[in-house]
Every structure is written in C-alpha cells, then in structure tokens.
C-alpha cells in the first residue's frame, strides 16, 4: 500500500513538471499567442492591446500559476478560435480516442496472443518462420503508409468500408486495424518468446517430472506465467496509443483528441493544445500506474521492493 502511495506522489510530481514544460514551450519568448493569432501585419499597438486583453503582459511564471490554479478547478481556459471552454472541447473528443484505442488494443492483444502461442507451439517450422517474418515486416511499415494501403484496398477497390469519418462501427474498422498492426506484431513476438521462456523454466520441468498432464502444465504453468509480460506491454502500449494515434486519426478523419490537437497546432490555438496534451499525459500516467499495480497483484515476485 505504501508502495502505491509513493508511486502516486511521484506520478503527480512528474505530471506537474510536465505541465510546466508544456506551458513554457508554448508560452516562452520569442513570439507569443497574441502574435500568432493576430498575424504578421498587425501594428505594435494592436498587438500590445491584444496581449493585455489575453493577460500576456504578465510574467511567464505568474501566468503559469494562474493556469495551474485554473486546471485544479477544472478550468482549462478557452479556445482562441472557437471561444468555447477547452475542457468541454476536449471532453467531447476524448471518448472517441479512448474507444478507438481500446478497439485497437483488443484486436492486437487477442490476435497477437493467438499468433504468438501458435508460433511457440510450432517452433522451428517453416510456418512459424513465415509468421514471425510477417510480424517483423509489420513493425517496419509506417502507420500512415499502412493507412493508405488499407484505404486503397478496402475502401477504393473493394468498396467495403468508408474512406474516412466517424460515428459508426464501420468507420472504426480501418483506423483500429491500422493502430493495431504494429502492436499486434509486438504482442506476437513477446508472447512467443515468453511462452518459450516459461516452457524452459525449472517449475515446468518439475511439473512434467511429477507427472502432471500435458494440458494442466500448459494452462497452469506455462500460459499463466507467459501472459504477465504480455499484459504489461499491452497496458504500457495502450497509453502510447493515446498519444500516437494523431496521425491515424487525421488520415481517417476520426473525431478524436489527436485530430483535435493537430487542427489546434495548425490554428496555433495554444490553450486547446495545452489542455488536450495535458489530459493525454494524465491518462497515460494513470495507465502506467495501473499497469504497475496490476503487475504487483498478478505476479507475487514484483510485490515488495520493485519500482
């Protein structure tokens, strides 16, 4: 319990420093949000007036303190473009991103685990070599190229699925698959090697030696131990999925947080960027925390001193 508490405190500290870094990157001199908003052609007095209206004439740290106290009250400021509260904009989009990431993680862990187990059971065969080579290839194809390929084949040639957009299950298939592919390859490689490692462990030999049936050894000894590292990597990668999905979301026009951030970057809508990025950072840290705790619960070896 004390371990969890200490981990929680250090997570909060890390997030606080992260918010400071993000705030400073977006707000430090030279140039500022007012300059970005008003463009190159404005006169100096117009710029000054806008700065005062936006509160940008105050020192950087004072502005950060103001922002932070707002964040703690759930106020992330307002979007420079639409004028709506950032918390509201981010909240609307967040669910879509979460659903998409969860679908991708689900596809990747189920298919990846199956592929990995199958490969482990057929170790040394040509089929295994082929499957694992395919997995290696899947890791080195860029996500956006995969997205283009999928659109080309499934939407333009076969006309099975919509090209882009959001709202229905059919819209989600291609983006979820695109996000799942590299993760699937990772899960397959990891589960294969952890099954092989577990099968080699002393306790499995002992189980065989005392005459436990094959099926029991598989289920109780090999699979149970092999699944732990796989769950860890899925949990960690899920957080990464949230932050890395913006390219895929933009390509498929999926109405998620990533696409919102990309649009905000084009618009130089700094409060919106900051709010969305911080939300993702919090979720990401939360997932890391859950993975750590879950690992401690599942694997008694991790308990005590680790982390």
> Which residues are near other proteins by CB under 8 A?
13-15, 17-18, 20-22, 25-26, 31, 120-121, 123-124, 140-145, 148-149, 151-152, 156-157, 195-196, 199-200, 202, 204-205, 208-209, 211, 214, 217-218, 222, 239-240, 242-247, 250-251, 261-262, 264-266, 268, 270, 273, 277, 280-281, 284-285
Question: Is the Cβ of residue 240 or residue 297 nearer to other proteins in the bound state?
Answer: 240
Q: How far is the CB of 269 from other proteins (least distance, A)?
A: 9
Q: How far is the CB of 211 from other proteins (least distance, A)?
A: 7
User: 78 has which bridge partners?
Assistant: 85
Question: Is the Cβ of residue 40 or residue 44 nearer to other proteins in the bound state?
Answer: 40
Q: What are phi and psi of 123, to 5 degrees?
A: -55, 135
Q: How far is the CB of 134 from other proteins (least distance, A)?
A: 14
| Nearest Cα to Cα of residue 148 among 165, 133, 131, 163 | 163
Q: How far is the CB of 284 from other proteins (least distance, A)?
A: 4
Question: Is the Cβ of residue 45 or residue 156 nearer to other proteins in the bound state?
Answer: 156
Q: Which residues contact 180 (CB under 8 A, 6 or more apart)?
A: 103, 104, 105, 107, 108, 111
From CA 158, how far away is CA 84, in angstroms rounded?
41
Q: How far is the CB of 115 from other proteins (least distance, A)?
A: 16
Q: At what angle do helices 126-140 and 86-121 cross, to 10 degrees?
A: 160
Q: How far is the CB of 152 from other proteins (least distance, A)?
A: 5
Question: Is the Cβ of residue 14 or residue 45 nearer to other proteins in the bound state?
Answer: 14
- 278-298 in b/e form (b: 16+ CB < 10 A) is bbbbebbbebbbebbbebbee
Question: Is the Cβ of residue 137 or residue 170 nearer to other proteins in the bound state?
Answer: 137
C-beta atoms surrounding 195 within 10 Å: 24
Question: Is the Cβ of residue 4 or residue 297 nearer to other proteins in the bound state?
Answer: 4
Question: Is the Cβ of residue 172 or residue 278 nearer to other proteins in the bound state?
Answer: 278
C-beta atoms surrounding 76 within 10 Å: 23
Q: How far is the CB of 74 from other proteins (least distance, A)?
A: 20
Burial of 81 (0-12, 13-18, 19+ CB in 10 A): middle
């Amino acid at each position: 319990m004390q371990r969890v508490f200490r981990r929680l405190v250090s997570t909060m500290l890390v997030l606080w420093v992260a918010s400071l870094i993000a705030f400073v990157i977006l707000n430090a001199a030279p140039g500022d949000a007012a300059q970005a908003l008003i463009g190159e052609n404005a006169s100096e007095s117009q710029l000054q007036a806008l700065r005062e209206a936006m509160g940008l004439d105050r020192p950087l740290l004072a502005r950060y303190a103001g922002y932070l106290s707002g964040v703690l009250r759930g106020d992330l400021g307002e979007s420079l473009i639409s004028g709506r509260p950032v918390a509201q904009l981010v909240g609307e989009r967040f669910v879509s991103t979460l659903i998409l990431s969860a679908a991708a993680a689900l596809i990747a862990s189920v298919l990846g685990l199956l592929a990995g187990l199958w490969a482990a059971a057929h170790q040394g065969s040509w089929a295994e070599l082929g499957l694992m080579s395919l997995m290696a290839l899947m890791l080195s194809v860029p996500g956006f190229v995969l997205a283009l390929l999928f659109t080309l084949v499934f939407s333009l040639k076969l006309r099975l699925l919509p090209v882009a957009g959001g709202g229905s299950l059919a819209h989600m298939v291609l983006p979820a698959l695109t996000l799942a592919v590299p993760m699937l390859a990772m899960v397959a490689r990891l589960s294969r090697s952890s099954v092989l490692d577990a099968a080699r462990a002393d306790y499995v030999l002992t189980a065989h030696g005392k005459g436990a049936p094959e099926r029991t050894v598989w289920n109780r000894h090999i699979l149970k131990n092999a699944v732990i590292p796989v769950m860890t990597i899925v949990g960690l990668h899920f957080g990464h999925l949230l932050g890395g999905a913006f390219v895929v979301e933009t390509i498929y026009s999926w109405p998620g947080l990533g696409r919102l951030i990309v649009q905000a970057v084009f618009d130089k809508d700094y409060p919106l960027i900051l709010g969305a990025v911080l939300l993702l950072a919090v979720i990401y840290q939360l997932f890391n925390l859950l993975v750590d705790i879950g690992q401690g619960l599942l694997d008694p070896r991790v308990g005590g001193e680790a982390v």
